[in-house]
Structure 1
């Protein structure tokens, strides 16, 4: 379910009423935790947190006109998703997250390579997501990306 919203505000206004409060809380915890330099924008039909061209002129290798994606959140048809590219490229970060998730939630982790899915919005571990968002600086992400070229 990809949104056609052109701005963050439009995306947020499209959210179903039952998702607004937890989604806004998720957005706030990410915005308050991301290291300086990441920029919020609409990216691939989701709220994206990217490295702007001013900090990484090469952009995303799949389409250099786009800024380098890092983290996104989306209201999908059956769940809210967090896409964290650092989890995909950094095995140590992935291990940390899986271990910490088990300590911070009594629910089973529903996860793909970089996608963390929450079907029940009352089960989002906001503090853990905030900690995850803070784990990589822009420089860390660029270095990891350059080494992996996912």
Structure 2
């Protein structure tokens, strides 16, 4: 019986690999988004969930924030209903689904709004949709 070849090892930093695979035009905005998440979501674990970077409180089963490079936009998933409700007025002018905030142009990402959303998320646990 022939030996089985080992599976490809997981990258040491799967989010860095995710960024490396992103289109050149979006990579700076996605890198900035990652840096913002890592700075504001202290104590959260950065993982790949459902094929995208996500941020999970240790010991919790679900992430509270995630982001992705989609075909037509950069998406930020805000899974905390209390945070979305608290920022309803500021989110009203944006392309927002139930939990998905979409930015069609990476150069128009509202990083000030995202920083405030991340800070509100990090302030304490809340209901995840």
Is the pair's TM-score, using the shorter chain for normalization, greater than 0.5? Answer: yes
Q: Judging changes above 3 Å, is the alpha-carbon distance between structure 1 residues 51 and 95 closer, same or farther for their aligned structure 2 residues?
A: closer
Tell which structure's C-alpha radius of gyration is larger. 2
Q: CA deviation at 1:139?
A: 4.4
Q: Which has the higher helix share?
A: 1
Q: Which residue of 1 aligns with 2:86?
A: 96
Please, which of 119, 136, 142 is the counterpart of residue 104 of structure 2? 119
Aligned length: 118
Alignment of 1:1-150 (within 5 A): 7-34=14-41, 36-53=42-59, 56=60, 59=61, 68-86=62-80, 89-90=81-82, 93-101=83-91, 108-137=93-122, 139-141=124-126, 144-145=127-128, 150=129
How many angstroms apart in 2 are the aligned matches of 1:95 and 1:117? 17
* Root-mean-square deviation over aligned CA pairs: 2.0
How many angstroms apart in 1 are the aligned matches of 2:91 and 2:84? 10
Unaligned runs of 5+ in 1: 60-67, 103-107
Please list the CA deviations of residues 68-94 of structure 1 after superposition, one character each: whole Å capped at 9, or x if unmatched. Answer: 2111010001100000101xx22xx32
How many angstroms apart in 2 are the aligned matches of 1:124 and 1:50? 23
Q: Secondary structure at the match of 1:28?
A: helix
Tell me if structure 1 keeps the 8 A contact 2:64–2:121: no
TM-score by length of 1: 0.70
Answer 1 or 2: higher relative contact order, Cα 8 Å, separation at least 6. Answer: 1
How many angstroms apart in 1 are the aligned matches of 2:30 and 2:87? 20
Q: CA deviation at 1:37?
A: 2.2
TM-score by length of 2: 0.80
